[in-house]
Structure 1
């Protein structure tokens, strides 16, 4: 089934590591993920609304560049992450690097298939998706609060809501479309 592209529409994307292996399990691997995400956002001009990097999967809420399909954006982003993290795993001698080598010698970093991809059409649906994204590390028991997990946009959202200076280590995000007054209720969503 082909995903219908909605120009200017928000997409909620989830993709997982091969066999749900924790290829993003180390802080260094997640730092490489964040670096790749930041650079891809700048290079490919998509709008990033929220994100989280978990040990074996990721969630992204984004808007593809005007008039562009999402597939090339995801392909470029996933390739950049794969190359950097795989190089790190091999260099550090992590046994996970050998677990993703197939019988033909090729590697498969990302789980086959497109992952989860949904058009977000309603403001309430967007609110829930961002909250779900930021609370994913808490639900998994990795941290006590979303702000404690530095590999997500929760800290960016928190600073933005309070007009605080952004941490240069955080991946910049874009303010969601719609009426800015609707975002006043974001207290507690991070």
Structure 2
């Protein structure tokens, strides 16, 4: 049986270090495929880009899947918790406004993994952007509209 963690347990050992690269993942509430709608997915993309433009992170790669997103970032300002709170709250407001809904958009919490210096950033980015291929949403990444990486 899989281990279930409370939101407080998910915070144990979480540390935010400026200059460190993190792989962040969060999932929609009840894994609803909300971002199958391209326009709603673009609203999340806009929030990822805004965090980059505001200097909170340097975005390395991201992909918005129908029911979650993966984001490879170098943290520049704020904590991981503050960053994810910002992304999730702002995207919730814009997605709910656009879809004329008042429902919860995201599950509580998020997953983060700090990459070590010896980790290959390009390999991590490739893994992220190949998610739509592994999920059989497309056969070529260039055909999937909700991704980007700083090298492409």
TM over 0.5: yes
Q: CA RMSD in A?
A: 1.8
Report the equivalent of 1:108. Answer: 104
1:127 positional shift: 3.2
The answer on whether the counterparts of 1:30 and 1:53 sit within 8 Å (CA) in structure 2 is: yes
The separation in 1 between residues aligned to 2:129 and 2:81, in whole angstroms, is 24
Displacement after TM superposition at 1:16 (Å): 0.3
Partners of 1:120 and 1:147 in 2: CA distance: 26
Asked whether 1:78 is paired with 2:113, we answer no
- Asked whether the equivalents of residues 6 and 119 of structure 1 are also in contact (C-alpha less than 8 Å), the reply is no
Q: Which has the higher strand share?
A: 2
Larger Rg: 1
Cα distance in structure 2, aligned partners of 1:45 and 1:69: 9
Deviations 1:100-151 (A, max 9, x none): x6xxxxx4211122x2111000444433321111100011111111111121
If asked which structure has higher relative contact order (CA below 8 Å, sep 6+), I would say: 2
For residue 54 of structure 2, what is the aligned residue in structure 1?
A: 43
Paired with 2:17 and 2:61, the residues of 1 have a C-alpha distance of 19
Q: 1:28-47 CA distances to partner (integer Å, 9 max, x unpaired)?
A: 11121112222222125311
**In the alignment, what sits opposite 1:157?**
151
Instruction: Supply the distance in 2 between the matched residues of 1:40 and 1:122 (Cα, whole angstroms).
Output: 23
Is residue 9–residue 120 contact of structure 1 (8 Å, CA) maintained in 2? yes
8 Å contact kept, 2:17–2:75: no
- Aligned residues between the structures: 141
TM-score by length of 1: 0.68
Residue segments in structure 2 that go unaligned for 5+ positions in a row: 1-11
Q: Distance in 1 between matches of 2:80 and 2:74?
A: 8
**Deviation at 1:51?**
0.3
| Unmatched runs of 5 consecutive residues or more in structure 1 | 91-96, 102-106, 159-190
Distance in 2 (CA, whole Å) between partners of 1:20 and 1:124 is 29
Partner of 2:5: none
Runs of 4+ off more than 4 Å: none
